[in-house]
Each structure stands twice: as structure tokens, then as C-alpha cells.
Amino acid sequence: MWQPTTLGPGDPAWDGKLPKDAVYMVWLNEESAAAYANSGSDVIVTTPYYVAGMGSSGWLDVYNADLLPSGLKPGAEKHIFSLIYISIIQ
């Protein structure tokens, strides 16, 4: 699902309307990404790439983007797909 609202889990627009295994793609709101991951939902986090790409340093900022949203509970990082992908290609 593309960019959920900023509320994260508990949002009446999405709760109960998507399959349990829905994957959320978040590109604007790091807090929403952390909230979904903390609740056990899988998340593709592109916020760091989006923000870095808006800067003036070009590709280097995108390459060095911090992919882990702040506010994650222990173990929730396994729901952040961008980290899983980076681990596989390294």
C-alpha cells in the first residue's frame, strides 16, 4: 500500500480493510513507518531516500541514508524491508 496516513495503526481509513499481510510503503513519515513496524506490519521505508534526494549533495546523501526509522521497539527492525534488502546485497 502506498503512503498510509500519519496515524499508523488505528487509522480508521485502513484498519480492518487490508489483509493482515499487507506491506506498507512509507515515503513521507518516519513515525508512521515505525508505528507499523512496531505493530508487526511489514514496511518499505523510503523516507530517508526521499529526504536525501531533496538535498544538494546528490547521490552520496542517498547512498548514505539512514534506513532505520527512530522509535522502533527491539525486534521491530525485522519488519523494515529496506534493511532486509541491504543485508542481502552486502
Which pLDDT value is given to residue 1?
59
Which pLDDT value is given to residue 67?
78
Q: Which amino acid is at 10?
A: G
Residue 68 exposure: Cα atoms within 13 Å on the Cβ side: 13
Which pLDDT value is given to residue 2?
58
Predicted confidence pLDDT, tens digits, the chain (90 residues): 555 556 678 777 777 778 888 888 887 788 888 998 999 999 888 777 766 666 666 677 767 777 788 899 999 999 988 754 444 444
User: What is the gyration radius of the CA atoms in the chain, in angstroms?
Assistant: 13
Q: Which residues contact 82 (CB under 8 A, 6 or more apart)?
A: 44, 45, 46, 67
Which pLDDT value is given to residue 6?
64
